[in-house]
């Protein structure tokens, strides 16, 4: 069932543009950025969504060779009810030619102030004419996840960016529900993005293979088990 339409207004850390680095500094062969959104082509599609109304940002250090490392906090835990999360990543990115390239790496998800086990994710993919297609394999404390994702940012009709994600979840221990058990499920999302008068607007549809009482077994990356349409507006402070 499709849940009611939601309007979410999210405040970001100060930056000159909602999807731009705050600071950038060149240190010889290294490039250091302080960012409010994950800038890595593959990592950007994989970091877990930030909580609504949370402060978020991170650091990214890259080398001319294609090697990069960074940390990104989807939630810094500065507001009531929000926990600190730190996503640390390392990867390598290289072009084959002017139109095609590849990227591989790993992300480590940690929650320093919560009694929750850390998790890891391996990812890799191709960049073609500005569009990105990739796959990720992750190991959460309670399940195994396989994710396919695509960001068609290089082909934006009417200035609209399109990104999609599809994930299968295999539970380590089946969950009892009315009428049986749930041992696996899938979820997916489609996002349309467009800047408007200094505000980044995202229209997101998400859903999963579970419904009704089976949703008690849901623990995916989307915000809801049932279908949900969300309008998300992000605006820098200045």
pLDDT at 9 over 70: no
Could you tell me how many residues make up the chain?
238
Look at 6 and 128; give whichever has higher pLDDT.
128
pLDDT at 151 over 80: yes
Beta-strand (E) ranges in 64-130? 67-75, 85-95, 100-110, 119-128
| Residue located via tokens 């082909």 | 155
pLDDT tens track for 24-42: 767 777 777 776 666 555 5
H/E segment holding residue 39: none
> What span, in angstroms and rounded, lies between the C-alpha atoms of 125 and 102?
6
**Which of 46-50, 83-87, 136-140, 157-161 has maximum average pLDDT?**
136-140
Bridge partners of 192?
162, 203
The model's pTM:
0.74
| Residue located via tokens 């810094």 | 76
What is the largest distance, in Å, between two alpha-carbon atoms of the chain?
62
Closest CA to 7 of 189, 223, 229, 161: 229
Query: Could you give phi then psi for residue 64, rounded to 5 degrees?
Result: -60, -25
Q: How many CB atoms lie within 10 A of CB 213?
A: 11
Instruction: State how beta strands 228-235 and 6-11 pair.
Output: parallel
Q: Cβ(10)–Cβ(201) under 8 Å?
A: no
Number of H helices, E strands in the chain: 0, 14
Instruction: State how beta strands 85-95 and 67-75 pair.
Output: antiparallel
Q: Cβ(233)–Cβ(8) under 8 Å?
A: yes
pLDDT tens track for 177-227: 887 899 999 999 998 888 877 787 889 899 999 988 888 888 877 777 888
């Amino acid at each position: 069932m499709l849940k009611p339409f939601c309007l979410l207004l999210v405040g970001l850390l100060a930056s000159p543009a909602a999807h731009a680095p705050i600071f950038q500094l060149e240190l010889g062969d290294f490039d250091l950025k302080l960012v409010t959104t994950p800038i890595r082509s593959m990592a950007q599609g994989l970091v877990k969504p930030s909580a609504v109304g949370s402060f978020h940002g991170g650091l990214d250090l890259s080398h001319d060779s294609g090697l990069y490392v960074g940390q990104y906090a989807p939630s810094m835990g500065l507001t009531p009810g929000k926990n600190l999360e730190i996503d640390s990543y390392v990867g390598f990115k290289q072009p084959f030619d002017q139109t095609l390239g590849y990227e591989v790496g790993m992300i480590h998800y940690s929650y320093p102030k919560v009694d929750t086990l850390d998790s890891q994710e391996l990812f890799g993919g191709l960049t073609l004419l500005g569009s990105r297609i990739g796959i990720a394999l992750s190991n959460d404390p309670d399940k195994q996840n396989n994710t396919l994702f695509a960001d068609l940012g290089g082909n934006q009709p009417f200035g609209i960016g399109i990104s999609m994600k599809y994930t299968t979840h295999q539970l380590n221990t089946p969950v009892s529900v009315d009428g049986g058990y749930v041992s696996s499920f899938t979820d997916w999302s489609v996002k349309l993005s467009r800047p408007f008068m200094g505000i980044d607007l995202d229209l997101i549809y998400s859903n999963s293979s579970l419904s009704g009482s089976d949703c008690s077994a849901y623990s995916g990356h989307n915000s809801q088990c049932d279908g949900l349409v969300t309008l998300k507006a992000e605006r820098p402070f200045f």
